[in-house]
Amino acid sequence: MLLVVGLGNPGPDYARNRHNIGFMAVDEIVHRHRFAPFKSRFDGLVAEGKIDDQRVLALKPLTYMNDSGRSVGKAMRYHKIEPEHVVVIHDEIDLAAGRVKVKFGGGAAGHNGLRSIDDHIGQGYWRVRLGVGHPGDRELVHGHVLQDFSKADQEWVGKLVDAVAQSLPLLIARDEAGFMNKITVLTRPPRPKRPKPDDGAPPPQGSSAEGSSGSAN
């Protein structure tokens, strides 16, 4: 079994925060892959399903970000899941908004949710880092991640979490490059359409058309 964890804070006051993009991604995974409904377990909400015949447990810890590891550890112990079969999806201020990186292991880099998970299960798990941008000043980081995404952000956030959900089967198959490439393609802005010539349109005012006897003076 694979455990996919989205990080965030519980409750409606935090639902659209930048810090909660991990919750948003897990919600989209559960929806797209038609998992069973969420249930309250392991100090969180869990939903189970299959992706390409692989059993997957989706988890949203309800312990608040700073204590996420407690919920993750409970789910892992109950299902006997090893850390290398855990994928944690979280916000990342050191990535530009809309960018994604995936890595195995490493430090918490100041992220309190990851620090808590490291304390409970070690560092040997997968991280999917979803960029939410940096406010430009370390003193502003706390307020930045606890602010809602703006209306202007909604389009790219929706595309991003949808792309993560669509691409997850590749990460499950340990094809990190394919996972990243597919996300890049799915989130790439559409190319502007070239105007098509309209053969049936009348000629512009003042131009001569084929077969006319002359132009107006």
Q: What is the pLDDT of residues 161-207, one digit of tens each?
A: 999 999 999 999 999 999 999 999 999 877 777 766 665 556 555 54
Tell whether 214 is covered by a domain: no
Q: What share of the chain is helix, strand, coil (3-state, %, to 5)?
A: 40, 20, 40
Tell whether 121 is covered by a domain: yes
| Residue among 178, 152, 158 nearest 167 (CA) | 178
Q: Return d(Cα 193, Cα 176) in angstroms, integer.
A: 32
Query: 33 - beta bridge partners?
Result: none
Tell whether 203 is covered by a domain: no
Tell whether 71 is covered by a domain: yes
Query: 102 - beta bridge partners?
Result: 128
Q: Which residues are catalytic?
A: 19
> What pLDDT is recorded for position 213?
42
**Contact (Cβ atoms closer than 8 angstroms) between residue 69 and residue 118:** yes
| Residue among 125, 100, 130, 18 nearest 65 (CA) | 18
How many structural domains is the chain composed of?
A: 1
> What pLDDT is recorded for position 189?
77
SS3 label, residue 112: helix
> What pLDDT is recorded for position 211?
45
Say how many residues make up the chain: 217
Query: What pLDDT tens digit does each residue of the chain (217 aa) get?
Result: 999 999 999 999 999 999 999 999 999 999 999 999 999 999 999 999 999 999 999 999 999 999 999 999 999 999 999 999 999 999 999 999 999 999 999 999 889 999 999 999 999 999 999 999 999 998 999 999 999 999 999 999 999 999 999 999 999 999 999 999 999 999 987 777 776 666 555 655 554 444 444 444 4
Tell whether 89 is covered by a domain: yes
Residue where the block lists tokens 């447990």: 57
| Residue 48: domain span | 2-187
Pairing of strands 44-51, 126-131: unpaired
Q: Return d(Cα 176, Cα 102) in angstroms, integer.
A: 7
CATH code assigned at 84: 3.40.50.1470
Tell whether 196 is covered by a domain: no
| Residue among 175, 2, 153, 11 nearest 89 (CA) | 2
**Contact (Cβ atoms closer than 8 angstroms) between residue 58 and residue 71:** no
Tell whether 163 is covered by a domain: yes
